[in-house]
Amino acid sequence: MPERAIGVFDSGVGGLTVLRELRRQIPAEDLVYLGDTARVPYGTKSAPTVCRYAGEAARFLIDQQVKLIVVACNTASAVALEQLAENFQVPIVGVIVPGARRALEVSHSGRIGVIGTEGTVRSRAYERAILNGNPNVSVFAAACPLFVPLAEEGWADHEVARMAAHEYVRPLLEHDIDTLVLGCTHYPLLKRTLQNIVGDSVVLIDSAEETAKTVAALLQQEGLRRQVSSTAEPRYFVTDIPDRFKQVGGAFLGDSLDNVATISLD
């Protein structure tokens, strides 16, 4: 079992920011990534539809004999995690709880902002996870639907991104937050622009890093760490043809994307 791969899935390229952190923190592990690029994005879709897609993605990874599944998509983590944990035997790690925990660690004022897709914000999953850790803090959330297309367009540092960020984040700043959770795997690409808008007194939380830490700890705890370092490159699967995934994904992974195959989930 420990020699099996870790499965990671996302609606598209965003989860590659999580894969990148997994490679950095636990380089001995073998990784399989699935991007549901034929149906991306999940963030504008309803909970029942995202649950169905997430179930199909997890089923595919299980068929690849993975030992653990990382739901590297905030929207799917927000609405489908419980259902996945009920339906599959392997440990399932989402990106919400690690990000929420980290926010509670760094916030001094107890005033925490969360930005994400419509689906993630509507689910209030971050709010629940944060208040579950400490019911005395205040959580303020804002949906930022333009950030995903801005990141994919390569405009993360463009004046258009700066203006959109200002528009979305201003209401959170008016609530005097000191911590801002980047509640979407695309948003780390906008880190520089967002830090400029919120100023140095607000700490940005990148779930990718926290999620990889959680995975590393869980592998240790469950006796699932590989004994022999894998020399295999990650394998990538997508549901549309790989061209756009390879082209856009490079910026998310910080590396070139080879070894990409198309599969069908529906």
Does residue 60 belong to the site contacting a second copy (CB under 8 A)? no
Question: Cβ of residue 121: shortest distance to a second copy, in angstroms?
Answer: 13
Among 8, 72, 150, 197, binds a second copy (CB under 8 A): 150
144 noted as active-site residue = no
Q: CA-CA distance, 174 to 34, in Å (whole number)? A: 39
Helices 191-198 & 159-173, crossing angle to 10 degrees?
50
184 noted as active-site residue = yes
Pair 68, 6: CB distance under 8 Å: yes
Q: Among the options 61, 92, 121, 184, which is catalytic?
A: 184
Does residue 164 belong to the site contacting a second copy (CB under 8 A)? yes
Piece of 38-46, 57-65, 127-135, 172-180 that binds a second copy (CB under 8 A): 38-46
Q: What is the CA radius of gyration of the chain?
A: 17
Question: Cβ of residue 212: shortest distance to a second copy, in angstroms?
Answer: 28
Among 2, 3, 28, 49, binds a second copy (CB under 8 A): 49
DSSP-assigned letter for residue 109: S
Does residue 171 belong to the site contacting a second copy (CB under 8 A)? no
Q: Among the options 34, 40, 73, 112, which is catalytic?
A: 73
Q: CA-CA distance, 77 to 248, in Å (whole number)? A: 23
Does residue 51 belong to the site contacting a second copy (CB under 8 A)? no
Chain centre distance of CA 73: 4
Piece of 57-65, 82-90, 143-151, 207-215 that binds a second copy (CB under 8 A): 143-151
Long-range contacts of residues 45-53, Cβ cutoff 8 Å, at least 24 apart:
45/75, 45/119, 46/119, 47/79, 47/80, 47/119, 47/123, 50/75, 50/76, 50/79, 50/80, 50/119, 51/79, 51/80, 51/83, 53/11, 53/265
Structure tokens, 236: 């990538």
Does residue 196 belong to the site contacting a second copy (CB under 8 A)? no
Pair 34, 238: CB distance under 8 Å: yes
Does residue 95 belong to the site contacting a second copy (CB under 8 A)? no
Among 20, 39, 67, 186, binds a second copy (CB under 8 A): 39
Q: Hey, which residues are catalytic here? A: 73, 184
Which residues of the shown chain bind a second copy in the complex (CB under 8 A)? 37-40, 44-46, 48-49, 118, 145-146, 148-150, 152-153, 155, 158-160, 163-164, 167, 239-241, 243-244, 266
